[in-house]
Structure 1
Amino acid sequence: MLKDLSPQSFFMGCLTAFVGFASSFAVVLQGLKGVGATDFEAASGLMALSVSMGLCAIVLSVWTKLPVSIAWSTPGAALLATAGVPEGGFPVAVGAFLVCAVLIIIAGLFKPLGKAVAAIPAPLANAMLSGVILGLCFAPFKAIAFDPLLGLPILGAWAVVAAFKRLYAVPAALLAFVLVMMFGVELPEGAMANWAASLAPPMELVTPAFTMPSLISIALPLFIVTMASQNIPGIAVLKVNHYDPNPGPLFATTGFFSLLSAPFGGHAVNLAAITAAMCAGEDAHPDPKKRYWAAIIGGVGYVILGLLAGAVTAFVSLAPPILIQAVAGLALIGAFSGSALAAFKDAETREAAAVTFLITASGVSFGGISGAFWGLVAGGLMLGLLNVAKAWRG
C-alpha cells in the first residue's frame, strides 16, 4: 500500500480534512446545542464525530481500496439546530441518535429499507432539507444587523473568495471570524488561559433516554436527511468518478461508527459528497487505483482535528452566538440553493414540495413532533392528491 502513497494524495487528503472540518463544524456545534447539549457536551460530540468519521474513512478506504470519504451529517446538524430541546433534554436526543444509527445499519443490511428511503420523492426530500436549513441561512445577515463591524467582515470574506474559488469560501469566512474575535471582541479576563486549559480532548459519556416524540421528530428525520442528502449522493459521486462500490456495506459501516459516536454526543456520520469529489477526482492522483490514499490521509486529519475539538469549542464559546451562527449559515448557503432548486424545478411536484418546505421552515410542531416530519407527511399527502387528480383527468 505504501508504494501507492504520493505527495499529491497526501496534500489532497490534508486539504479534504481541513475543508471538511472547517466548513461545517459550526453547524454541528449549533445543532448539538439546539437539542440541549452544554458547551462541553457539544465539544465531546464534535470530537466523537470527527474521530469516528476519520476512523471510518480509514477502515473503508483500506478495505475497499476506493477513495471513500466520510463526513458528519451536516444536514442532520442543521435539522437539530431547529428541532428544539426535547422534553428530557440532551439524553433524549442522544437516544434518538442511537436509534438513527441503528436505522442506518438496517438500511445497509436490509435492502428493502434502503430502497424505501431511496423511493422518497427527491423534490420532497430536498424541500424538507431546504426548509430545515433556511433559518440558519438568515444568520449572516442578522449578524450584520447585530453589529456591522463584526458581521460584515465575515460575510465579505465569504463573498469575495466565493467569487473566485467556492471551495475556500467558508474557510475564508472562518478566518475572518477568528480575526474578528481577536481584534473586534473584548474577551473576558482570563479567557485565553481558560482556552489553553481546554486543549485536552473532551469526552462526556451521556446516558441515553428514549421517548416516542423524540424518535419521530429527531431520529426519523435525521435518518432520512442523512440517507437522502448524504449517503445516497455519496455513492453517486463515487460512481461519477468511475467507481462501483456495493452501497449496503458502506451504509452499514457508517451506521456502526455513528453508533459508536452517539453515546458521546455525536449525531451521525455518513458518506461524504463534496469532500468525496476531492478525494475521488484527478487532483488526488492521476491513477484512479491510487486515490484511496487521499481518503486515508483525510481520515487521519479528521482524527487529529477531533482531538482538538475542546480548544475549538472553547474559542467559539467566547464569541457572541450570532457570529458562529453566521459562519454556520454561510456554510449552508450552497446546500440551501441546491436543495431548493432541486425541490422546485419540476412543475408537477412543485405544490407538494412547497407544502413540505413551508411546514418545515415554519418550525411548527404537533404532539411534540417537529415540523420536518410533518412537512414530509403533508407533502406526501399533497403529492398523492396531485397524482389522483392527474389520473382522474387522464
Structure 2
Amino acid sequence: MKDGGAAQPIVAGVVAALVGFASSFAIVLAGLHAVGASDAQASSGLLTLSVAMGLTGVALSTIYKMPLSVAWTTPGAALLVAAGPVSGGYPAALGAVVLAGTLIVIAGLWAPLTRLLTMIPGALASALLAGVLLPVCMAPVHAVVDVPKLAAPMVVVWLVLWKVARRWAVPGALAAAAIAVAIDPVDHAGGTHLLPQLTWTTPAFDLGTLLGLGLPLFVVTMVSQNVAGMAVLAAHGYRAPMRPVLAVTGAATVAGAPLGAQGVNLAAITAAMAAGPDAGPDPARRWLAGASAGAIYFVIGPCAGLATALLTASPPVLIEGVAGLALLGTLGAALRAATDDDERRDAAIVTFAVTASGVTALGISAPFWGLVAGLGLLAVQTARYGRPSRVAAEPEPEHPAAEPAAVET
C-alpha cells in the first residue's frame, strides 16, 4: 500500500472532527450554561468531552479496524438548553448525565434494556427529539430580531454557504458571528481563561431531574446518536460492535460527568464523512479516519477556553442562534420521521407538542411528560374493547398497533 493510501482517510477524519467541533460546540456550551454551569465549568466540560471523544474514538477504531467515530450528544445538549435550570441545579443536571451514561452501559451489557428501548415507537422517539430541538431552532429568528447587527451577517453567510458548500455552512456562520462579536463585544465580556481548567463538581441526584432530564437524555442519545450512527455504518458496509461501543461510551459519559461532560456516544452526523467514499476507496483502510478524528480532538481540546471566551463575549441568543442553524437539518429529519407513520402520527404530534411546550410538572420537565402523553394516547388508540370484528374483507377503521418505526436523523 502506498503512503498516499493512508493520507485520504486521515484527512477525512481530520475534516470530520473539525466540522463536527465547529458546528456544534456552541450548543454544548449553551446547554451547560442553561443548566447552571459557570464559564469555568462549561469550559471544563468541553475539554473533558474532547479528551473522552479522542480516547474512545482512537481506541475503538484501532481495536475493531472500523471508522468508529465518537462524538458528543448534540441532541442531548439541545435537551439541556430546552430544560433550562433544573431542580437541584448544575450538580443535579450532572446526576442526570450519570444516569443516562449508566443506562447506556447497561444497554450494552444487558440485551433486555436495549429491547425495551426499541419498544418505544420510532415515530414517538423522533417526535420527542423534534420537540427538544424546536426551541433551539427558533433561536436564529430571535437573534435576528434582538441583535440584528450581529445575527444578520451570520445568517447571510450561513445561507450562502448552505447553497454552495453545505458542509461548511455552520462553521462559516460561526466565524461570521465571531468576527461580529470581536468588533462589538457585549459590555460584560471579559475575565474568561483562554486555557481551560478542569473543574470538579460532585453530581447530585434529584428524582425529578433524573426522570425529567436523565431518562430523556438516555432516549435521545440512544436513538439519535447511537442507533443512527450504527445505521450510517451499516449503510457503508460495516457491522459495528454495538455492545462494546455502548459500554465504552457510556462508561466515558459516567466518568466525565463530574468534570462537565454531558454525553459521549457514537457519531451520527459526521459518521458518513469517516465511513464513506470520501475517506478513501478501500473500506478496510477507513478505520484510520475514525482514529484520526479521535486524535484531532486532543489538539482541539485546549481550545475549549477560547470557545468559552467567545460565548462569554456574545449575547446568549447569538450563540443559541448558531446552534439552531446547525440543528435545522436534524429537526427536519425528526419531524419527517415522526409524521411518516400514519398509525402513530396523532401520538407523535402529542409527544411533540407537550415536549416543545417546555412545561414542568411535579418537578419533572417536558420531555418526560411528552413521552408519557404520546405513549398514553397510543395505548388508548390501540386498545380493543370487546371482541374484534371477524369480517376479513373490510379493514378495521381503528389504527392497529404497528412495529416500531426506524428512527431517521
TM-score, normalised to structure 2, is: 0.91
Distance in 1 between residues matched to 2:108 and 2:342, nearest whole Å: 33
Q: CA deviation at 1:156?
A: 1.0
Q: CA deviation at 1:348?
A: 1.5
The 5-angstrom pairing of residues 101-112 of structure 1 reads: 101-112=101-112
Aligned to 2:333: 338
Aligned to 1:215: 210
Aligned to 1:147: 147
Alignment match of 2:262 (pick from 263, 267, 275): 267
Distance 1:110 1:3, change over 3 A: farther
Distance in 2 between residues matched to 1:307 and 1:77, nearest whole Å: 20
Any runs of at least 4 consecutive aligned residues in structure 1 with deviations exceeding 6 A, and if so which? 1-5
Q: CA deviation at 1:70?
A: 0.7
Distance 1:118 1:8, change over 3 A: same
Aligned to 2:79: 79
Contact kept, 8 Å, 1:201 with 1:310, in 2: the verdict is yes
Aligned to 1:374: 369
Q: CA deviation at 1:118?
A: 2.1
Q: Count the aligned residue pairs.
A: 389
Distance 1:118 1:5, change over 3 A: farther
Q: CA deviation at 1:245?
A: 2.1
Q: CA deviation at 1:389?
A: 5.6
Whether 2:294 is the aligned partner of 1:304: answer no
Aligned to 1:157: 157
Q: CA deviation at 1:165?
A: 2.7
Q: CA deviation at 1:315?
A: 2.1
Q: CA deviation at 1:181?
A: 1.3
Aligned to 1:355: 350
TM-score, normalised to structure 1, is: 0.95
Whether 2:201 is the aligned partner of 1:202: answer no
Aligned to 1:388: 383
Distance in 1 between residues matched to 2:242 and 2:132, nearest whole Å: 26
Q: CA deviation at 1:166?
A: 2.1
Contact kept, 8 Å, 2:5 with 2:280, in 1: the verdict is no
> Which structure's residues are more often helix, by fraction?
1
Distance 1:217 1:2, change over 3 A: farther
Distance in 2 between residues matched to 1:139 and 1:342, nearest whole Å: 23
SS in 1 for 2:208: helix
**What amino acid maps onto 2:355 in structure 1?**
T
Show CA shifts across 1:5-53 (max 9, x none). 6221221111011111011111111111111111111111111111111
Whether 2:247 is the aligned partner of 1:252: answer yes
Distance in 1 between residues matched to 2:164 and 2:140, nearest whole Å: 20
Distance in 2 between residues matched to 1:58 and 1:336, nearest whole Å: 30
SS in 2 for 1:71: strand
SS in 1 for 2:246: helix
Distance in 2 between residues matched to 1:272 and 1:182, nearest whole Å: 32
Structure 2 unaligned residues grouped into runs of 5+: 390-395, 397-409
**What amino acid maps onto 2:352 in structure 1?**
F
SS in 1 for 2:71: strand
Contact kept, 8 Å, 1:52 with 1:260, in 2: the verdict is no
Q: CA deviation at 1:176?
A: 0.9
Contact kept, 8 Å, 1:161 with 1:172, in 2: the verdict is yes
Whether 2:313 is the aligned partner of 1:313: answer no
SS in 2 for 1:6: helix
Contact kept, 8 Å, 1:140 with 1:329, in 2: the verdict is yes
Distance in 2 between residues matched to 1:4 and 1:337, nearest whole Å: 38
Distance in 1 between residues matched to 2:2 and 2:107, nearest whole Å: 34
Distance in 2 between residues matched to 1:264 and 1:201, nearest whole Å: 12
Q: CA deviation at 1:326?
A: 0.7
Contact kept, 8 Å, 1:199 with 1:310, in 2: the verdict is yes
SS in 2 for 1:245: coil
Distance in 2 between residues matched to 1:93 and 1:252, nearest whole Å: 21
Whether 2:278 is the aligned partner of 1:280: answer no
Aligned to 2:12: 12
SS in 2 for 1:141: helix
Q: CA deviation at 1:84?
A: 2.4
**What amino acid maps onto 1:349 in structure 2?**
R
Q: CA deviation at 1:188?
A: 5.3
Distance in 1 between residues matched to 2:274 and 2:212, nearest whole Å: 34
Whether 2:253 is the aligned partner of 1:238: answer no
Q: CA deviation at 1:204?
A: 0.4
Distance in 2 between residues matched to 1:3 and 1:239, nearest whole Å: 28
RMSD: 1.9
SS in 1 for 2:240: coil
Contact kept, 8 Å, 1:202 with 1:309, in 2: the verdict is no
SS in 1 for 2:234: helix
**What amino acid maps onto 2:200 in structure 1?**
L
SS in 2 for 1:30: helix
